[in-house]
A and B are shown apart, each in its own frame.
Chain A
């Protein structure tokens, strides 16, 4: 079963339709990294985050799973929509952590990079993430923040991957963008027939000796039988 290779043209057209034309896609720089986005790429009324928090989450998710020459990322999968919705349902226990963590993160960006996260370009954003992706939070991370820098980042990373690869019913993995990226077909209500790969097709089955009933003394003890 061959998957259709990812087509950038299809992807661009598709995204424009999906977003209702609200924003344009970022411009690919020479390095292939997507330039930082300012606007929310889809019409979404934020439910559990406010608009600014939502934009930071969206921007973080795009750094975690960037859109690049290899295919779509968090933007196309609508990871931020997933996180926003999940914070009102099955991830409600993390809502407070997002509110305080995002405030700490933005303050950290001001302290360390002299700019709020949203005002940084892609390179600046990458530096911001690198700065907290270490065992101990940097001195520029607010001391009174309830969680450390890396814990905050790991939380957003974990939920970004959920938003990339969850069932689309949860708002992320929009149009199975994440599943297509890794060639996972999703639910399989009718299953699959072997062979599953070249390996099980080509590696010969072991020939086992034919089974013969045990010819030693059968000593099975059955309760209720003498």
Chain B
């Protein structure tokens, strides 16, 4: 099936980025009759261009990031721990830059934030050294849009199974996908421990939905692009629906280097570079930035002008500040019998019993979740660093043979503290292939993260132990250089002096500029931000349409 991709020369709206938020906005706005051009710095691939190839997916060459089968088209970045350090080149920021973005390869876990996530400052108070704030919206501002995202995109799950879930008006559109071996063991362990294991809500079809087939449990799941389109990625859901309206053009291999403003300080359009580094200019009535929590602030900071000498929409000075990931810890356990985790989805069960424990009782702020899982990666497994086992020789070989089908991982994912000193800015020295400054990550953990890490590492061990695992190996505390969950760098708020966008994802400084992605998050949640990003995008689309109708946006 070939879809139209019309050439639109005078769009109403330019959307920059075609991932979780950009694709939703392109689809919603084009469906309402607005002319949309969606820009993507990477290429436009079809699902058939991707392959079940661990070497290219997981261990790509650092000089070969344009290979379509690589999930981590890591755009280069640099990293330093504190702002006194010299930043060095790093590959910690994980993102896929092809049309559809990282939804092409993500695990697909799609839960709603809880009511408490939006008001942690009010509930739990301040935390020394952190900048925890309430969101300017609450759960009920997003409830309808969560539901819309679940149905329009296609989420499988079991309503009512998680006693900690926030209220919802409708069940999931599809039942859960088949339980994996690690999911079954998690069920058993959770029941022993008095915890509540429930089927992971996943952006993966469990039955035919949206003209796409159900999961086939092939095991090439997270980090791989689904070759049959069972994962509800943007490439097979929102993008084709946007194109089918005839009102949307995807302009791929187009790297926006600046958002330009007119003399009144309103966004006029963009300047972008094509594959051959030729410069183009495109104008529109509104510009929406959906480039993720790292590349959105980078683009704004590159868009300097007389009116915005410190970067576009940055009168508050908060663009690029408050960078958050989701801190994580894990333990790996081994079993006497086969699990065969090379079959099935990555993660079929979740445990939220420690989602927001009382700080006074537990001695740390915030909480986290357990996401027991397995994978079928052979090369990574063979190269695993194991205590008291050399990387080579007959014993290593025997260990690989005996254990490849017999392990699971208790991943725990938790909150990162919002800190103003964790930032994205422009690296003064290093340039990317377009000749533009790469994003510089400055990131250090808050001591609270290590307290959380200690607590959740113990829970991971406990889960594996209750499941009957032996030889449990846990990860040490660490300082992340990056992550796939990129949040906080254009935070949402009511006060233009302390936030970048208002509660409708509209820039405080520029009324026809919208910023929708993880960067608007005020707090990080415990993990898996994508469904919330998508809900924010559906909501922002409604807002833009009402504003356009009222001519508030010319």
**Which residues of A line the B interface, CB within 8 A?**
32-33, 63-66, 68, 70-71, 73, 89-93, 126, 129, 133, 153-154, 157-158, 160-162, 164-167, 170, 178-179, 181-185, 187-194, 196-200, 203, 205-206, 208-214, 216, 218-224
Residues on B with beta carbons closer than 8 Å to the beta carbon of A158: 383
Q: Which residue, of B54, B405, B542, has the highest number of chain A Cβ atoms within 10 A? A: B54
B350 to A: closest C-beta gap in Å = 13
Of B309-317, B320-328, B395-403, the one contacting chain A is B395-403
Cα-based distance from A153 to B390 in the complex (angstroms)? 11
B70 to A: closest C-beta gap in Å = 10
Which residues of B from 365 to 410 have beta carbons under 8 Å from A? Answer: 376, 378-379, 382-383, 390-394, 396-398, 400-401, 404-405
A-B contact pairs, 17 of them (CB 8 A): A63-B392, A90-B60, A129-B392, A157-B383, A164-B379, A165-B378, A165-B382, A181-B397, A191-B217, A192-B218, A199-B185, A200-B183, A206-B187, A206-B198, A211-B160, A216-B167, A219-B143
A196 touches B218 (CB 8 A): no
A137 to B: closest C-beta gap in Å = 16
B63 to A: closest C-beta gap in Å = 6
A192 touches B344 (CB 8 A): yes
Cα-based distance from A203 to B379 in the complex (angstroms)? 30
A214 touches B169 (CB 8 A): yes
Residues on B with beta carbons closer than 8 Å to the beta carbon of A219: 140, 143
B180 touches A196 (CB 8 A): yes
B54 touches A166 (CB 8 A): yes
Cα-based distance from A91 to B59 in the complex (angstroms)? 10
Instruction: Tell me whether chain A's interface is mostly helix, strand or loop, or mixed.
Output: loop
Cα-based distance from A221 to B197 in the complex (angstroms)? 31
Cα-based distance from A103 to B53 in the complex (angstroms)? 33
Q: Which residue, of B60, B342, B396, B546, has the highest number of chain A Cβ atoms within 10 A? A: B342
Cα-based distance from A191 to B170 in the complex (angstroms)? 31
Q: Which residue, of A153, A185, A193, A220, has the highest number of chain B Cβ atoms within 10 A? A: A220
CB of B459 within 8 Å of the partner chain: no
Residues on A with beta carbons closer than 8 Å to the beta carbon of B141: 221
- Chain A's closest residue to B163 (CB) is A209
Known: A93-B63, A129-B392, A197-B339. A189 touches B55 (CB 8 A): no
Cα-based distance from A180 to B95 in the complex (angstroms)? 33
B392 touches A65 (CB 8 A): yes
A166 touches B55 (CB 8 A): yes
Q: Which residue, of B197, B400, B504, has the highest number of chain A Cβ atoms within 10 A? A: B400
B520 to A: closest C-beta gap in Å = 16
B50 to A: closest C-beta gap in Å = 12
**Which residues of B line the A interface, CB within 8 A?**
52-56, 59-64, 140-141, 143-144, 158-161, 167-171, 178-181, 183-185, 187-188, 191, 197-198, 215-220, 227, 335, 337-344, 376, 378-379, 382-383, 390-394, 396-398, 400-401, 404-405, 504, 539, 542-543, 545-546
- Chain B's closest residue to A203 (CB) is B184
6 extra interface residue pairs, beta carbon distance < 8 Å, beyond A194-B217, A199-B337: A33-B394, A165-B382, A181-B401, A191-B216, A194-B344, A196-B339
Name the contact of B144 in the complex, choosing from A129, A179, A193, A222 (C-beta under 8 A).
A222
Cα-based distance from A92 to B63 in the complex (angstroms)? 9
Instruction: Tell me whether chain B's interface is mostly helix, strand or loop, or mixed.
Output: loop
Cα-based distance from A190 to B339 in the complex (angstroms)? 20
- Chain A's closest residue to B538 (CB) is A223
- Chain A's closest residue to B185 (CB) is A199
Name the contact of A196 in the complex, choosing from B160, B170, B340 (C-beta under 8 A).
B340
Residues on A with beta carbons closer than 8 Å to the beta carbon of B220: 187-188
B337 touches A197 (CB 8 A): yes
Known: A178-B378, A187-B52, A222-B542. A161 touches B343 (CB 8 A): no
A77 to B: closest C-beta gap in Å = 11
Name the contact of A161 in the complex, choosing from B183, B338, B342, B382 (C-beta under 8 A).
B382
A133 to B: closest C-beta gap in Å = 6
Residues on B with beta carbons closer than 8 Å to the beta carbon of A211: 158-161, 171
B218 touches A189 (CB 8 A): yes
Residues on A with beta carbons closer than 8 Å to the beta carbon of B187: 203, 205-206
A220 touches B144 (CB 8 A): yes
- Chain A's closest residue to B546 (CB) is A224
A66 touches B391 (CB 8 A): no
Residues on B with beta carbons closer than 8 Å to the beta carbon of A68: 394, 397
A184 touches B404 (CB 8 A): yes
B160 touches A208 (CB 8 A): yes
Q: Which residue, of A161, A170, A214, has the highest number of chain B Cβ atoms within 10 A? A: A161
Residues on B with beta carbons closer than 8 Å to the beta carbon of A194: 178-179, 217, 344
Cα-based distance from A133 to B389 in the complex (angstroms)? 12
Name the contact of A182 in the complex, choosing from B55, B180, B378 (C-beta under 8 A).
B378
- Chain A's closest residue to B63 (CB) is A93
Residues on B with beta carbons closer than 8 Å to the beta carbon of A181: 397, 400-401
A157 touches B181 (CB 8 A): no
Cα-based distance from A73 to B170 in the complex (angstroms)? 55
Known: A203-B187, A223-B546, A224-B542. A212 touches B160 (CB 8 A): yes
Known: A183-B405, A199-B185, A220-B144. A93 touches B61 (CB 8 A): yes
Residues on A with beta carbons closer than 8 Å to the beta carbon of B143: 218-220
